C-alpha cells in the first residue's frame, strides 16, 4: 500500500506539472498577436504562480481536518454558503460600500475550504458510481478517481477573445487576471479594436478554468457550481485519453471537447441532486445568457409567447453569418447591438454581443450561441449512453466528427 500512496502522490505532482505546461500551450496555441498581445500581456493570468500557491493547499487542509472539530452538518454548511452568495449579490447591488457586504464576504471566504471539501467528496462518490474510477495494476480492487476532484472557489480569470469582424472565428483567446472591472474590460476591448479595425474583441468572465486545482467562480448557484466542477474535472480526466489530448488540434476537436464537457456537467448536476436532494435552492433562477448573469431585479418582459432565448440566439447567429458572408459587416454589427437590447428587455443581460461573443461561446455545442452540428450529435451520444459514466466511456476515444458519427452508428 505504501507504494500505491507514493505512486499516487507522484501522479498528482505530474498532474500539476501538466496543468502548468497546459497553460504554456494555451499561451502558445491561442495567444493573440500584436495589439491584442500587448493588452493581454499587461493583465495576463499567471499559471505557474497559481499552481505553486494553490496546489498544496487542499492537501494540507485535508491533513489538518484530522484535528478539526465538527463544524456542523454538511447540508447546514452548504445552505449557509449559498445563502451568503445571495446576500452578497443583494448587498453589492444595493450598496457596494456596505459594512454588511464586507462581513458577508469575509464569512464566505472562511467557509470556502469546508464547502470545497464537502462537494469534492460528494462529486467523487458520484464519479465512482458512474464507473469513472481507475483500477491500478496489481490493485484491481482499489478504485481511485483520478485526477482527484480538486477545485478552488474564487474569482476566476477573465478571457480576452478575438475574432475577425468579417467572419465568426475564434482567432485568438487569452486568459487575463481575475477581478478586472467593467471599465477595464471596455478599455481593453476598445484598445484592441482601435489598433486593429479588422477585429472584434470581447472580455468575458470564465465560469471555471481547468487548472489543477480548478478555478471555480465562488458566486455561482448550487446547481451551476456542481455542473462547473464536473465540467472542469472532465477536462483534467480527458488529458489521459485521445479526446482530451486532441484539444488543441483545431476548432473541431475543441468543440468536441467543450460539448462533451458541457453535457457531462449538466448530467452530473442532475445526478447529484437525485442523491443529495435534501438541500436545493428554494426558488427557480433566471437562466443567464452564456457567460453572463441576469441583472438583479430584472424580470422577463411580459409577452404573449414565452421567450425562447436559445431559438432567438441561434436564429440571430444564422442571420449574422449570412450577412458577414455577403460582406455586410456594419449591418451585421448593428443587428447584434439591436438584439442585445431586446434580449436585455426579456431578462437576458449580455454586456456586449459581437463576432467575438459568438466565436467564443460557439465552441460549446449546447450553447445558444452555437449552431455547430457537433452539439446535437454529442447530445444524442449522451442520450443513447444512458448515464454520464457510459457517455464518457464512449466519448473519450473520439477525436473527430467522423469518429463521433461512427460512435453513433455503432461502429
Q: Is the pLDDT of residue 24 over 50?
A: no
358 part of a folded domain: no
Q: Specify if 340 maps to a domain.
A: no
Q: Is residue 292 part of a domain?
A: no
In the block, cell 479595425 appears at 197
Helix (H, G, I), strand (E, B) or coil at 152: strand
Any domain includes 349: no
pLDDT in tens, 209-240: 888 889 999 888 999 999 999 999 999 999 99
Q: Which tens digits make up the pLDDT trace of 274-322?
A: 999 766 554 444 445 565 544 333 444 444 568 899 999 999 999 999 9
**Mean pLDDT comparison of 45-59, 122-136, 314-328, highest-scoring range:** 314-328
Closest listed residue to residue 251, CA positions, set 404, 408, 44, 30:
30
pLDDT at 25 > cutoff 90: no
Q: What is the pLDDT of residues 73-85, one digit of tens each?
A: 899 999 999 999 9
Hunting for cell 456586449 — which residue is that? 352
Q: Exposed, middle or buried: residue 234 (CB in 10 Å: 0-12, 13-18, 19+)? A: buried
Q: Measure the CA angle with vertex 66, ends 112 and 18; round to 5°.
A: 60
- Cα distances (angstroms) measured from residue 132 to each of 149, 233, 253, 283: 12, 12, 22, 32
CA distances from 378 to 253, 315, 362 (A): 12, 21, 14
* 251: three-class secondary structure by DSSP: helix
Cβ atoms within 10 Å of 194's Cβ, excluding its own: 10
Number of domains in the chain: 1
Domain span holding position 112: 2-280+369-409
SS3 199: strand
Q: Which helix (H) or strand (E) holds 204?
A: strand 199-205
- Output 173 or 2, whichever has higher pLDDT: 173
Question: Does residue 11 belong to any structural domain of this protein?
Answer: yes
- Element (H or E) spanning 153, and its range? strand 151-153
Residue 296 lies in a domain: no
Let me know if 378 is exposed, middle or buried by CB neighbors in 10 A (0-12, 13-18, 19+): buried
Q: How many CA atoms lie within 13 A of 293 on its CB side?
A: 13
| Residue 261 counted as domain residue | yes
pLDDT of residue 67 exceeding 90: no
Least trusted range by pLDDT, from 24-33, 173-182, 249-258, 299-308: 24-33
> What mean pLDDT, rounded, does the chain reach?
83
**Residue at 249 is within a domain:** yes
Q: What is the DSSP letter of 305?
A: S
pLDDT of the residue at 52: 75
CA separation for the pair 144, 131 (Å, rounded): 10
Amino acid at each position: 500500500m505504501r507504494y500505491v500512496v507514493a505512486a499516487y502522490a507522484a501522479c498528482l505532482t505530474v498532474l500539476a506539472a501538466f496543468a502548468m505546461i497546459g497553460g504554456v500551450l494555451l499561451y502558445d496555441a491561442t495567444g493573440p498577436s500584436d495589439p491584442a498581445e500587448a493588452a493581454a500581456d499587461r493583465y495576463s493570468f499567471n499559471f505557474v504562480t497559481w499552481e505553486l500557491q494553490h496546489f498544496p493547499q487542499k492537501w494540507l487542509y485535508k491533513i489538518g481536518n484530522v484535528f478539526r472539530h465538527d463544524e456542523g452538518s454538511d447540508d447546514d454548511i452548504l445552505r449557509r454558503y449559498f445563502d451568503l452568495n445571495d446576500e452578497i449579490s443583494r448587498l453589492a447591488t444595493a450598496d457596494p460600500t456596505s459594512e454588511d457586504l464586507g462581513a458577508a464576504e469575509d464569512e464566505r471566504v472562511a467557509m470556502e475550504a469546508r464547502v470545497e471539501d464537502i462537494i469534492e467528496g460528494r462529486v467523487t462518490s458520484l464519479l465512482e458510481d458512474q464507473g469513472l474510477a481507475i483500477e491500478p495494476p496489481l490493485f484491481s480492487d482499489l478504485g481511485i478517481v483520478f485526477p482527484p476532484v480538486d477545485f478552488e472557489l474564487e474569482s476566476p480569470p477573465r478571457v480576452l477573445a478575438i475574432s475577425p469582424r468579417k467572419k465568426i472565428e475564434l482567432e485568438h483567446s487569452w486568459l487575463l487576471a481575475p477581478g478586472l472591472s467593467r471599465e477595464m474590460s471596455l478599455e481593453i476591448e476598445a484598445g484592441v479594436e482601435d489598433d486593429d479595425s479588422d477585429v472584434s474583441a470581447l472580455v468575458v468572465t470564465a465560469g471555471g478554468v481547468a487548472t489543477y486545482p480548478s478555478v471555480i467562480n465562488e458566486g455561482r448557484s448550487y446547481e451551476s457550481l456542481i455542473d462547473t466542477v464536473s465540467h472542469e474535472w472532465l477536462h483534467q480526466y480527458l488529458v489521459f485519453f485521445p479526446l482530451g489530448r486532441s484539444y488543441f488540434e483545431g476548432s473541431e476537436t475543441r468543440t468536441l471537447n467543450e460539448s462533451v464537457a458541457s453535457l457531462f456537467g449538466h448530467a452530473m448536476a442532475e445526478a447529484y441532486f437525485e442523491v443529495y436532494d435534501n438541500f436545493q435552492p428554494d426558488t427557480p433562477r433566471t437562466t443567464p445568457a452564456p457567460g453572463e448573469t441576469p441583472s438583479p431585479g430584472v424580470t422577463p418582459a411580459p409577452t404573449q409567447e414565452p421567450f425562447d432565448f436559445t431559438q432567438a440566439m441561434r436564429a440571430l447567429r444564422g442571420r449574422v453569418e449570412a450577412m458577414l458572408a455577403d460582406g455586410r459587416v456594419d449591418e451585421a454589427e448593428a443587428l447584434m447591438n439591436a438584439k442585445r437590447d431586446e434580449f436585455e428587455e426579456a431578462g437576458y443581460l449580455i454586456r456586449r454581443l459581437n463576432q467575438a461573443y459568438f466565436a467564443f461561446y460557439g465552441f460549446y455545442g449546447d450553447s445558444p450561441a452555437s449552431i455547430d452540428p457537433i452539439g446535437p450529435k454529442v447530445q444524442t451520444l449522451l442520450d443513447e449512453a444512458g448515464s454520464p459514466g457510459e457517455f464518457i466511456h464512449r466519448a473519450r476515444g473520439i477525436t473527430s466528427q467522423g469518429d463521433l458519427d461512427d460512435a453513433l452508428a455503432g461502429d
